[in-house]
Amino acid sequence: MERTNWTEIEFILQGLSEYPRAEKLLFATCLVMYLVILLGNGTLVILTLLDSRLHTPMYLFLGNLSFLYIWYTSSFIPSMLIHFLSKKKTISFTRCVVQMSVSYSLGSTECVLLAVMAYDRFVAICNPLRYPIIMSKALCIQMAALAWGLGFFNSLTETILAIQLPFCGKNVINHFVCEILAFVKLACTDISLNEITIMLGNVIFLFTPLLLICISYIFILSTVLRINSAEGRKKAFSTCSAHITVVTVFYETILFMYMKPKSKDSAFNKLIALFYGVVTPMLNPIIYSLRNTEVHGALRKLVSRHWFWSAVVTRLAG
Ligand SMILES: *[C@@H]1O[C@H](CO)[C@@H](O)[C@H](O)[C@H]1NC(C)=O
């Protein structure tokens, strides 16, 4: 089989080129959403790194998630914004591969991180006395490394399988971004092996974490319901509510995409896919900072500049 000469290939991201007015509107909407994502998640990362009161496993994992969302959205939104405004919607083979592998890797890591965060809440509520011993710094770092590593290897495998395919002319991707399934469909050969491994990867990385999250919450609920006072129940559960909300938003959108009837209107499908790629990253910092006194306190401290600079100096010095 002849190897494809990658430098000669360019893909066309069709996006919504048939509706130029809608593209202008999408540009404005996505730009605003992207800025909100950068601002919200950037603030959370800075807070979790600088404020020692937020150096608990829950907030460190949250910092990881926000850090991930910044890179995840940055892997496709900027180039998408440019394509919305320009007539020429081409992307080189290499950039397309980088875009799809980075977003695939971070998407997989996101699922594992959500499961790790559920485990953290499970230990905090079902085993509160031993929580500091179980969730040691070493375990936290191991679990975070596991999440990043698994995502990376999942993406690496799929990417290696995908770029070995021969490409010979089909080059229109009917989407806003390079997405792995759309990419392999452009190859001029049998792609069933790729489709199977991608489906398998999706199932493993979406449904195993979902299962673990559900099991954690079954234990959490049964523990919370055994608490006698209503006040105590509320207090115990309040530390989980933000995580539950993020998980629900994330999985609702994913499941919706999988389960929805195959609509003929491809513009609508593309818009839904786009919307769901940005909505969880945008809502995550908002959900976590709403009514959260710890985050509010840390933010207030950050805003008073004196503290900010002294913290930076101590960080650099220490
Ligand atoms: C990610 O999590 C690890 C382990 O808890 C932590 O050491 C690290 O500071 C976190 N990174 C960010 C950016 O929050």
Say if ligand 1 is within 6 A of residue 54 CB.
no
Show the domains of the chain with their CATH numbers.
7-308 (1.20.1070.10)
Task: List the single range of 16-30, 115-129, 223-237, 252-266 with lowest mean pLDDT.
Answer: 252-266
Q: Which residues pair with 150 in a beta bridge?
A: none
* Each residue's pLDDT tens digit, 48-61: 998 888 899 999 99
Residue 303: band (very low, low, confident or very high) from pLDDT cuts 50, 70, 90: confident
Q: Which residue has the higher pLDDT, 302 or 81?
A: 81
Residue 9 has pLDDT above 70, yes or no: yes
Say if ligand 1 is within 6 A of residue 16 CB.
no
pLDDT of residue 294: 84
pLDDT of residue 230: 86
Residue 10 DSSP symbol: E
Pocket test for ligand 1, best of 59, 60, 119, 137 (most atoms within 8 A of CB): 60
Q: Helix crossing, 293-303 with 20-50: angle to 10°?
A: 90
> Distance from the CA of 64 to the center of ligand 1, in angstroms?
6
> Distance from the CA of 57 to the center of ligand 1, in angstroms?
8
Residue 263: band (very low, low, confident or very high) from pLDDT cuts 50, 70, 90: low
Closest C-alpha among 36, 33, 14, 35 to residue 25: 33
| CB neighbour list of residue 16: distance below 8 Å, 6 or more residues apart | 22, 23, 26, 176, 267, 270, 271
Say if ligand 1 is within 6 A of residue 70 CB.
no
Length of the chain as a residue count: 318
Rounded alpha-carbon distances, angstroms, from residue 63 to 24, 42, 54, 74, 223: 33, 9, 10, 17, 27
Tokens of 194: 């790729």
Q: Which residue has the higher pLDDT, 218 or 262?
A: 218
Pocket test for ligand 1, best of 41, 44, 46, 64 (most atoms within 8 A of CB): 64
The whole-angstrom separation of Cα 145 and Cα 67 is 14
The b-or-e profile of 1-31 (16+ CB within 10 A means b, else e) is eeebeeeebebebbbbeeeeeebeebbeebe
Task: List the single range of 35-44, 113-122, 201-210, 301-310 with lowest mean pLDDT.
Answer: 301-310
Closest C-alpha among 306, 286, 305 to residue 296: 286
Residue 18 DSSP symbol: T
Say if ligand 1 is within 6 A of residue 48 CB.
yes
pLDDT of residue 262: 63
* Each residue's pLDDT tens digit, 149-207: 999 999 999 999 999 998 887 788 888 889 888 899 899 889 999 999 999 998 899 99
Burial class of residue 279 (count of CB atoms within 10 Å of its CB; 0-12, 13-18, 19+) = middle
pLDDT, mean over the chain: 88
The DSSP string of 73-111 is HHTTHHHHHHHHH-S--EEEHHHHHHHHHHHHHHHHHHH
> Distance from the CA of 151 to the center of ligand 1, in angstroms?
16
145-149, 203-207, 247-251 — which one is most confidently predicted on average? 145-149
Closest C-alpha among 280, 281, 305, 284 to residue 295: 284
Average pLDDT over residues 307-316: 72
Residue 305 has pLDDT above 70, yes or no: no
pLDDT of residue 197: 92
